[in-house]
Amino acid sequence: MNVKPELIYSPKAKVSQPLVCIIASDDLPDFIDLLDYEKVFISERLKRGDESVFLNTKPGYVAIVRVKNDLPLFRQHESLRKSASVLLERIKETLGTSVTITGNDVTASAVLAFAEGLILSLYRFDKYKTKESVEKGLPEKILVSYNIPESDFNWLKISCEAVYATRDMINEPPQKMTAQTFAAALRHLGSGSGFSTEILDKSRIAALRMGGLLGVNQGSIDPPEFCIMEYKPENAVNSKPLVLIGKGVVLDTGGLNLKPGDYMEQMKTDMAGGAAVAGAMYLIARARVPLYAIALVPVTDNRPGQNAIAPGDILTMHNGTTVEIMNTDAEGRLILADAISYACRFDPMIIVTLATLTGSAFMTFGTLASAIMGTAGEEYFQTLESCGEEVFERVARLPFWEEYEEALKSDIADIKNLGGKESGAISAGKFLASFASAPFIHVDIAGPAMLKKNDYYRTKDGPGTGVRMLAAFARSLATANVEKNKS
């Protein structure tokens, strides 16, 4: 099984090879031990405009990566993350077990961005391979030797741990990642980070009358779970919590509206939103962000067996709303609606849902962005958009006009679980918003959460989309609240 790389911070360590150096100009750093002809080789390629230069040397390879100064800062960082992923293929040829990353006249964030891209590119999920599968040459230790604020380094280290844990959960096969094992994984994640986890079983879910979660679960032999994660530090700057809600459908067959085979191929990843929310909580708690935060993950699979719900059925949700089922494959919004209603008891500052919810969002933005919409104030949307750019998990806002509610009107219930063929992502968001009595943002990650091939450091199937963005959002809210409390 592949060994996860160890990230080590040693700013005063002697820079040695193998080495990656991030630079801001064509000038070659004098602290790199190179022969004259090697210096000439690198300098010539930098002057001709190469963005990176790789050189095998006797002590070990040297890679010089130049920052794209003509780009906005967030794009500079993304370029460095991608450069790390590209460079990994060259590193593998050297059979090295460690690499040092440093810089010359660049920001600490540039060095960290490269390190982040390298670590996330190194992720492998091969626990079920029975033959030796360790790739030769992958570095097991990554040493960062540069003047970096220790808090920034720690954030990066914990962030990568959170993404790795999220990817591990997403990549597990359905027979292993049942509702029960998923809930147990969330509890385990909390025990190692500092947030508490309460898991409600089917009897307690029934007592709460969560008709959406119970309804979707009717076709399964495995009972549902409802996971409540809470992080409330003593120095929390907010009294009303940030509530994150993630979709936890561990396998989505579509129910009686069965998906075609090629659409079902990746449906073990339909709990990517729930896994990402848990990963974000891990990062928030481990990094000791001074923010009161709660995460809710309703968990079940969606199968066509047993007494599965059918089109035409009516479910009564946690808040008493009746829902006419138009399509059993529109199940994610049903379990999220119960969670949103439950979240309102905490009088949250804002509710954010994260879900692989609609093909409409995927068809609109592809894998390049998540769709966002909701009722929250403009400052929340701007903060989320800024955090999405910061970690390059970009979001794009959709209109949320009241006219979109028309498609959800039912003749026999309070609301339908599916609108028309048009504007499907928006009508799904409108469905969710009808259960929220607090400021609300919905993030539809259907595109970037399910990749069919690697996208540089974003690994296929389960890249962990949303972990870094939501944690950055929480950190920004904490900072904003600190400033508000001072004024």
The string of pLDDT tens digits covering residues 15-41 is 888 899 999 988 888 888 889 999 999
Higher pLDDT, 487 or 350: 350
Burial of residue 194, with CB atoms counted within 10 A of its CB: 0-12 exposed, 13-18 middle, 19 or more buried: middle
Pick from 350, 162, 107, 170: which is nearest to 245 by CA?
Answer: 350
- Summarize pLDDT for 382-395 with one digit per residue, the tens: 999 999 999 999 99
Pick from 473, 485, 291: which is nearest to 395 by CA?
Answer: 473
Is the separation of the CB atoms in 218 and 328 below 8 Å?
Answer: no
The arithmetic mean of pLDDT across residues 247-260, rounded, is: 97
Is the separation of the CB atoms in 119 and 2 below 8 Å?
Answer: no
The predicted structure's pLDDT at residue 1 = 41
| 7 φ, ψ (degrees, to nearest 5) | -100, 125
- Find the range with the poorest average confidence among 27-31, 171-175, 314-318: 27-31
| 298 vs 179: CA distance, rounded Å | 9
Query: Does 134 have pLDDT greater than 80?
Result: no
Query: Does 170 have pLDDT greater than 80?
Result: yes
Confidence of residue 325 (pLDDT cuts 50, 70, 90): very high
Is the separation of the CB atoms in 203 and 225 below 8 Å?
Answer: no
Is the separation of the CB atoms in 79 and 35 below 8 Å?
Answer: no
Query: Does 288 have pLDDT greater than 70?
Result: yes
Domain 6-148 top-level CATH class: alpha beta
- Summarize pLDDT for 384-441 with one digit per residue, the tens: 999 999 999 999 999 999 999 999 999 999 999 999 889 999 999 999 999 999 999 9
| 315 vs 322: CA distance, rounded Å | 6
- Summarize pLDDT for 222-249 with one digit per residue, the tens: 999 999 999 999 999 999 999 999 999 9
Is the separation of the CB atoms in 469 and 165 below 8 Å?
Answer: no
Is the separation of the CB atoms in 105 and 59 below 8 Å?
Answer: no
- For residue 434, what is the DSSP state? T
DSSP-derived pairing of the beta strands 52-55 and 62-66: antiparallel
Is the separation of the CB atoms in 317 and 211 below 8 Å?
Answer: yes
The predicted structure's pLDDT at residue 95 = 59
Query: Does 487 have pLDDT greater than 70?
Result: no
The predicted structure's pLDDT at residue 275 = 98
Identify any residues that bridge with 252 across adjacent strands, giving them in sequence order.
302
Catalytically active residues, by annotation = 259, 333
Confidence of residue 313 (pLDDT cuts 50, 70, 90): very high
- Find the range with the poorest average confidence among 78-82, 90-94, 206-210: 90-94
The predicted structure's pLDDT at residue 207 = 98
Domain ranges of the chain: 6-148, 158-486
With a pLDDT cut of 70, the percent of the chain lying above it is: 97
Domain 158-486 top-level CATH class: alpha beta
| 225 vs 339: CA distance, rounded Å | 12
Confidence of residue 97 (pLDDT cuts 50, 70, 90): confident
Q: Average per-residue pLDDT in the chain?
A: 94
Q: Residue 27: count other Cβ atoms within 10 Å of its Cβ.
A: 11
Residue 20: C-alpha distances to residues 29, 32, 83, 154, 275 (Å): 12, 10, 11, 20, 33
Edge-to-edge strands, sheet with 6-9: 6-9, 141-144, 98-104, 19-23, 62-66, 52-55
Helix (H, G, I), strand (E, B) or coil at 234: coil
Is the separation of the CB atoms in 300 and 248 below 8 Å?
Answer: yes
- Find the range with the poorest average confidence among 125-129, 316-320, 445-449: 125-129
Global confidence as pTM: 0.96
| 233 φ, ψ (degrees, to nearest 5) | -70, 155
Q: Residue 213: count other Cβ atoms within 10 Å of its Cβ.
A: 30
